[in-house]
Structure 1
Amino acid sequence: MTGPHPAVAACRRGVRAALSEAALPPGSTVVTACSGGPDSLALAAAVAFEAPKQRLTTVAVVVDHQLQEGSGDVALRALEQCRDLGIDQAAVRTVDVAGTGDGPEAAARDARYAALAEAAASYDAGAVLLGHTSDDQAETVLLALARGSGPRALTGMARASGVGVRWLRPLLDVTRDETHAACAALRLEPWHDPHNDDPRYLRVRVRKALADLEADIGPGVVAGLTRTAELIRDDLTHLDDSATRLATELGESPWPVDELAAIATPLRTRVWRELLRRAGSPAASLGKVHIDAVDALVTRWHGQQPIHIPGSLQVRRGAGLIVVERRQVQ
């Protein structure tokens, strides 16, 4: 007796691991995003096979962006194939993609994620599964490198994120070629989005650049970029965990300058962010400029004035201590 095609098995392993790590209670519902393309169809097939083993109810959601003629027919065909695979329920969500300053790709992505979040809420789902592959991850990392983004951006897409509803990417160890092969082995008929070949879209240009690198340097670029993302993510997670522990040990303001100065710079900047957040500064508003200015009170002290930070707070140095306090409104 032979097993499944290796590409089918790879997709199933990814889904099995993601659902196991999510540890959803039996009877929970999981939503699978399906565009009808090869990546999401391969994902839907794997979910239909693996989820029932963990006593999970499956829902496929097809988002129709209405960006191309005949998009409704494509959505219905994807819906039919999901049902044929054995997905418990399937539905189409139609969205209006409003133009934004970040371009049509970002607008479509925002509309899609909003529709999936609404669907997850309506089905009381514990997780939403997305069909991003290792190729997608490599493209994300390459784009972050080209833009000169910080190390957090270089970690790419997380395998799991979100509180409450979990956003899962089970196929980050699966290549795009493997999802195509899985669809062929299962006799699925994926839709090939013409936008994926349109150089007007940034992601398409990045995809071509990655293919050129593979051709010029040799195979392994995609695997190398995805491996780099994993390594950076592990390092950053360790730094963040260490910073949280140190912030807890330091407690509330005031903080001795000597103790702060003894912390290595990459770790101390993270400690600052956590200390200031706990003191009442909104994390989303704390920028690098604020952290650098506060850190200068320790590393480049020359009697400077208190540093104003978001949350109507100020940070000052005096008598060998760093103090955070409510800013006086004039």
Structure 2
Amino acid sequence: MDRSSSGVTPGESGPVAGQVRLPETTSVLVLRQAVRAWLALYRPAGAVAVALSGGADSLALTAAAVVEADGVDALIIDHGLQRGSAAVAAEAADAARRLGCRSARVRRVEVDGPGGPEAAARHARYRALDDLRDGMPVLFGHTLDDQAETVLLGLGRGSGQRSLRGMAAFDDPWGRPLLGVRREITRQLCRDLGLRPHEDPHNSAPEFTRVRLRTEVLPLLEEVLGGGVASALARTAAQLRDDGEILDSIADRLLSEARDGSSLSVEILATAPGAIRRRVLRAWLIEGGAKAVTDKHLRAVDTLITDWRGQGGVAVGGGMPGTRLVARREHGRLTLAFAR
């Protein structure tokens, strides 16, 4: 790919905001507007980083960000999970420089840990991006379609409102400007610019749940319900996020009122609505070292407040091997400590 084939025209002074020009196609205008709106809300001045995989979504985001932001650094993570991954990362870095990024950095990571290869790769990727970002927010190319898949996955797993809220537009330092943009628009932008995105074979592998949602479940829902399902799911996520933020702010105030050192006052929590109280418990458990707090954990701890019969403590996720993190009720307070 070169400038003439991509349709991208560099400014004479180098890749800074306003000096890279893109053709005024519909896809370009949609992407630029989405990035501009995000920057106005969350990053009105200063450079940003873009997590660039080489796929259509992140390439389209990079192209738009270079025009709209004060400066863009491309961060490319090579997971090393596929043959030729180093070459894919190098091609993505080259594309970033051609699009006008002021730098393109590649980091090779080791993928291991619990939760299967998808979860391990995600953890490794985010750790590397956090290390590379130099204090800048990192933008991801997640689209409206990704948001719909996330909401549908959470709905199927019964994981509650927090999961149905989907991905946030900004969860410092992670930004997602394209949550209102359809995936087809990012692909069209790549075609308009003559970009050839990398097609990750994992994105079409049916052994992955999200792939089957994308290729089988959502198309069937669109057909049965007459279209608009992805947009409706994304709207649901936005509505639940607005509601959830209000509930979280109320819970934050209640948590402050209920604090008694590192423990919580049962008396103060007992009169609170259950939805607020369980938010308080979730924040308190995570603060105390709990991992992957589930609805089952929350409701079990909640019974120490609402259905106290002298029962013992509740083990929650967390702790080193051979230890458990246990919530107990003692003398009118909830305590949290490690136990063997």
Question: Which TM-score tier does this pair reach, normalised by the shorter chain?
Answer: 0.7 to 0.9
Is 1:94 matched with 2:114? no
Q: Which residue of structure 2 lines up, in the alignment, with residue 136 of structure 1?
A: 146
How far the C-alpha of 1:113 sits from its partner, in A, is 2.2
Of residues 86-95 and 171-180 in structure 1, the stretch that sits farther from structure 2 once superposed is 86-95
Equivalent position of 1:263 in the other structure? 272
* Pick aligned residue for 2:209 from 189, 202, 208: 202
Structure 1 CA distance, aligned partners of 2:194 and 2:288? 55
Cα separation, 2, equivalents of 1:254 and 1:189: 56
Matched AA of 2:132: A
Matched residue, 1:66? 80
User: Which letter does structure 1 place at the counterpart of 2:273?
Assistant: A
> How far 1:43 sits from its partner (Å)?
0.5
Residues 141 and 76 of structure 1: is their aligned pair in 2 closer, same or farther, counting only changes over 3 Å?
same
CA RMSD of aligned residues (A): 3.2
Q: What is aligned with 1:47?
A: 65
Which residue identity does 1:268 align to in structure 2?
R
Identity %: 43
Q: Which residue of 1 aligns with 2:125?
A: 112
Residue 126 of structure 1 and its aligned partner are, at CA, apart by 1.5
- Gap change, CA 1:204 and 1:277, over 3 Å in 2: closer
Aligned to 1:214: 222
AA aligned to 2:50 is: T
Whole-Å Cα distance in 2 between the matches of residues 326 and 142 of structure 1? 34
Match of 1:156 among 146, 161, 166: 166
Q: What is the identity, as a one-letter code, of the residue corresponding to 1:6? A: T
* Residues 325 and 226 of structure 1: CA distance in aligned 2, closer, same or farther (over 3 Å): closer
SS at the partner of 1:131?
Answer: coil
Rounded Cα–Cα distance in structure 2 between residues aligned with 1:10 and 1:168: 17
Give the letter for the 2:105 counterpart.
Answer: A
What is the one-letter code of the residue matched to 1:189? Answer: R
Task: State the Cα distance separating 1:159 from its structure 2 match.
Answer: 1.5
Which whole-Å CA distance do the structure 1 matches of 2:242 and 2:275 have between them? 15
Count of aligned positions: 307
SS in 2 for 1:172: coil
Q: Which of 77, 88, 97 pairs up with 2:91?
A: 77
State the secondary structure of the residue aligned to 2:53: coil
Q: Structure 1 residues 316 and 293, CA, compared in 2 at 3 Å: closer, same or farther?
A: farther
Distance 2:82 2:188 in 1: 26
> By how many angstroms is 1:251 displaced?
5.2
SS of the residue corresponding to residue 48 of structure 2 reads strand
Matched, 1:181 2:188: yes
User: Which amino acid letter does the alignment assign opposite residue 48 of structure 2?
Assistant: V
37 and 281 in structure 1: CA distance in 2 versus 1, 3 angstrom threshold: closer
Structure 2: 5+ residue stretches without partners:
1-21, 317-324
For the structure 1 residues 147 and 76, does the alpha-carbon distance in structure 2 shift closer, same or farther, using more than 3 Å as the test? same
Whether the 8 Å CA contact 2:48–2:72 is kept in 1: the answer is yes
- Alignment of 1:7 with 2:7, yes or no, is no
Alignment check: 8 A CA contact 1:63 1:95 kept: yes
Partner of 2:4: none
For 2:161, what is the secondary structure of its paired residue? coil
Please give the per-residue CA displacement for 1:175-204, whole angstroms capped at 9, x wherever unaligned.
100101111222222222233222122221
Q: Counterparts of 2:240 and 2:85 in 1: how far apart (Å)?
A: 39
* Greater CA drift, 130-139 or 15-24: 15-24
CA-CA distance at 1:236 after TM superposition: 1.7
Gapped regions of structure 1 (runs ≥ 5): none
TM-score, normalised with respect to structure 1: 0.80
Quickly say closer, same or farther: Cα 1:103–1:248, change in 2 above 3 A: closer
Deviations 1:18-60 (A, max 9, x none): 223333754xx422111211101100001110112xxxx3211
Does the Cα contact within 8 Å between 1:281 and 1:309 map onto a contact in 2?
A: no
1:180-329 alignment, distance < 5 Å: 180-208=187-215, 209-250=217-258, 252=260, 255=265, 257=267, 260-273=269-282, 281-282=288-289, 284=291, 291-302=298-309, 304-305=310-311, 307=313, 314-316=328-330, 322-324=332-334
Structure 2 length normalisation: TM-score? 0.77
What code does the residue aligned with 2:254 have? Answer: L
Q: Counterparts of 1:114 and 1:93 in 2: how far apart (Å)?
A: 11
Counterparts of 1:254 and 1:106 in 2: how far apart (Å)? 33
- Secondary structure at the aligned position of 1:156 is classed as coil
Classify 1:191/1:323 alpha carbon distance in 2 versus 1 (closer, same or farther; 3 Å).
closer
Instruction: Describe the shift of the 1:39–1:325 C-alpha distance in structure 2 as closer, same or farther (beyond 3 A).
Output: closer
**Kept in 2: contact 1:31–1:129 (CA 8 A):** yes
